[in-house]
Structure 1
Amino acid sequence: MPAYQRILLKLSGEALMGDDAFGINRATIVRIVDEIADVTRLGVQVAIVIGGGNIFRGVAGGSVGMDRATADYMGMLATVMNSLALADTMNKAGLVARVMSAIGIEQVVEPYVRPKALQYLEEGKVVVFAAGTGNPFFTTDTAAALRGAEIGAEVVLKATKVDGVYTADPNKDPSATRYTSISFDEAMVKNLQVMDATAFALCRDQKLPVRVFSIFKSGALRNVVMGADEGTLVHV
């Protein structure tokens, strides 16, 4: 039996790039969707928040000197683009995906409505939450924490390029070791930067655990859902 029945998967936009400089790598997004499909077959309800860094990176040079709120709204639109691409790939793979946006663009995707999102999850659909929180100055990490709490997710799964939280940067320090588990308070004291401070505080206050793992390791998502020792669990 899966260890979790309802999860919030947080994907960075960069996770979709593969080896490309920006944009979406087709082979990479298909592989990620295969991992998601695998856990849905276990009966796990899956909601997703995805960043927009891979899209926004392509226009980052032009954003220099731009008003922060304007740049953040551009980033929100980038997350909508990623969400549409991810949902399209999931639908083609046999899943049923629904994109819900925190900003109003009804001609493209439906607005985020919590009861509707819960209904979709209970029907076995994968729900992709786009446009962050709908507000500038908040990251998609915060959106993941917020939506995770709202839908009653049992855990936020932060999928990264690194297979957990380490005592130091493993790319710079070969002696760095991975934490199997760590408390929110200890991670904050050690400034491990698992998520941004707002998201981290929200998860801690809501007693919503966070597991950090590598989305690039085949089968890692399934291992996490089944309760295996994969990545790092951050808990109260």
Structure 2
Amino acid sequence: MRGENGATIVEERLRELGARLRGPRRLRSDLLAEARHGLLDAVDAYRESGLPAAEAQRRAVAEFGAPAELAPAYQAELAAGALRGLSLRVVALATVAFVAGDLTWQGASWDGSPPPAAYQLLSASVGWIWAAAFVLAAIGLLPAGRSALRGRAVDRAVGTALTGVLALGVLAGSALFAWSIGLWDAALTWPPMIIGAVVAAAGYLWLGRAAHTWLLATR
């Protein structure tokens, strides 16, 4: 049976391992919990074979491995999880943007001349940027067991490209919004435009947190 004094060495080893890991908090906690269960099972097995508690802990921890040896594999899993999390958010926000983008202007009382060609080009570019982000995110969501299709280097390349495209999308989207305000004075009082701006800002922050987590996990 497991006792409170049967986990001191185990917990110390897990603290050492956890201190080396960066990435999504929930996944990190799950990985450490899984490691804890495995270690405690090993301790129980050694205890049942007749070893004292302290020796059972030492053997289980020695068999588990040193944190420096274990951390790379755990960190790779965290990086993959961070990429999946970022990709899911991109797919969700890009879908909303594709569906709701045109609705922002539905019913608007635009009575001026057509927007300049550069504005229309920027508007089209925003759509293409988000389409590229969607494709990269779809690649990032491929199943984790894909050694034949992807490796860590490819994951890193996909994540780097995705964060770069997202940064470009934020800049282009912000520029388009600012330009829209300049072309149409009533934009700041048009409810769909206001709602769209609030949703976009919240979405950018949501994506920014996920991108930051991925960058930390791959550092």
| Structure whose residues are more often helix by fraction | 2
**Greater relative contact order (Cα < 8 A, sep 6+):** 2
Higher radius of gyration, 1 or 2? 2
| Structure whose residues are more often strand by fraction | 1
| TM-score normalised by L of structure 1 | 0.26
